[in-house]
Structure 1
């Protein structure tokens, strides 16, 4: 029976039990835990260097009050990065291809940045809805447009992550299917297709890392506007 290409994005189940919770908990098991020794091994040293560099880069444009979000944003980056990378392995499931999960991450973080802005500096937060020097006739229209753009932000965060990963997985499956079908009929074309598939897989690895970074970077920019 021919299965749909979109079946790979269905939440897997085993004996009627959804495995989404397992897929979400697995990344934290893979990270090495810091030890009490003075000198760590190479894996822990590399992990610590990466986390420190990423945190410094992320907090560079933020004001001092925004530095309280360092641990939260860094943990979110590592979580999304690991989920995206694990989803590229055979016989695995990518939870970040589900719009419901991405929206469940985007909406609370975006709402938290908005509420922090309204609590700490309400005048500046509301001032973003109306640029300075706007003509009087355009004030109502601009307020409506800026309000809509404000509420579209979490949707854009979730849809961007979902669409990029879904498109990459579909393209990889299509090209892999074509290479497998043409293996017996046109071996040369199949070999060239396999080379394209390998290059596309490398590109998808880069996309998985970049999209996790972009998700957290945009959250940090939203936070910068409200602290």
Structure 2
């Protein structure tokens, strides 16, 4: 039996681009729903189950940044932001709001599909509902525990909700405790980028991890990267 199609919600106000991406992604086998504004997108998200969201930044009513924040209040679903600006303002705002990755428009369909596939692979690291710690696969760093079998993360005994990207980044750190991991290494291992990746996605995801795990948990090694303290 073949697996069910991946359900994708696209929120894009440009009608031509919305139709173009919808048709193109359907040809790749994705089951698409689309909305032309942020509020409609939020309604669809609340009414249906989706495996991944693609959100434009500039949307009428509720922009993509605000929409991402609203979604992150209740969901860890993977989010890919689309920005028409390459100056970094939209990128930083989107990643700070909880997005996992971004692309800059105009974007070729094959690039969009590549980023979607990468995000979906990361989603396989998502915590499993109802799984408790498996003591055979628990890594302990002070009061931080990482159950690599059940994909459960706790701090001082309390579970911590992480997005798939945050979880995969933490697993990468946990596999190399005390070792400095360079940004380009993390881009390759977590985001599946080559040398053309944007290191800001690493920096901002590390910031989000620090807010959830404790600010001193991941140390910055200036000029090199980051390391998880033992």
Into which bin does the TM-score normalised by the smaller protein fall?
Answer: under 0.3
Q: Which has the higher contact order (CA 8 A, sep 6+)?
A: 1
Taking structure 2 as the reference length, the TM-score comes to: 0.27
Which one has the bigger strand percentage? 2
Larger Rg computed on CA atoms: 1
Taking structure 1 as the reference length, the TM-score comes to: 0.27
